[in-house]
Structure 1
Amino acid sequence: MQYDEFIGEVQHRAQLDSREAALSVSRATLTTLSERVQPGEAENLAGQLPEELARHLEKVDDVEGFDFEEFADRVADREELGENDPADAAFHAQVVVEVLDEATTGDTLAELRTQFPDDEYDELFELVDSEGSPA
């Protein structure tokens, strides 16, 4: 999936007002993912994304084991939408993960998902699961 298509899908599905907002949401989610998953998994994901998005999956020296509430808080803090609402950020992260599922091939998202405790992070993968995609 090309960069413009990815951002357009995030904008449409999250019902955002602009492409800039969609980029902000995508950047915030990818950066937070990079803090939560092992570097190898982040690199695998980055390898299937356009460079403009892949660069937000930077190598992090110390992977942190935070829960989904903290994940949503971090996304909210990074979004540049002026709202800083964790509930909105959680939905935005779900949308980005749903688009990631469509933008990647093979078991990339399934392998990424193994980095998250099942019960704690089911909400992050809610839209992917509702589409009947493999968990």
Structure 2
Amino acid sequence: MVYNFTAEWSALPSTTTYNWFVWLTNPGAGWSGVLWSQNVAVTLTNPTTTRGPTTTRRATTTALPVTTTVAIASPCGATAAYCVDVSTIPLSISRVAGTYSVAVKVWSKTALDAFVELHETNSLALVSNYAYSAITASTTSAYTTYRRGEGRLR
């Protein structure tokens, strides 16, 4: 299932590099119960402006790159207890301050908590909120394969 996380950040300097940090934990356990985590590098895009007769509007969304694939680092075999596909996460983000939706595909045998955060690469400083989503237990028994970001349940 694809979960949408609401991430917010202030204007990002273009001189700094950033990573998404995605992690799973047991419900309510926080950082002490981390089961899996992965860093995903991102690039910044410059804001675009549309000028009309009376308004100026800044773009607050970015398109997902369609040709970029991110390696899946979570255990996704047939006997896995959970599986995370970060290929849906945006690899190009706007440096404009705002609220953004970040999609991550997660499958789990049991309920879990998931977090998505944006960090500076070098200092590891958190630059977004802790975007949270409760992951529900799957109604199917096993996760079998990933192919180009698509999961197949049996």
Q: TM-score, normalised by structure 1?
A: 0.26
The structure whose RCO (Cα within 8 Å, separation 6+) is larger is 2
Higher strand share: 2
Please tell me whether Structure 1 or Structure 2 has the larger radius of gyration of its CA atoms. 2
Q: TM-score, normalised by structure 2?
A: 0.24
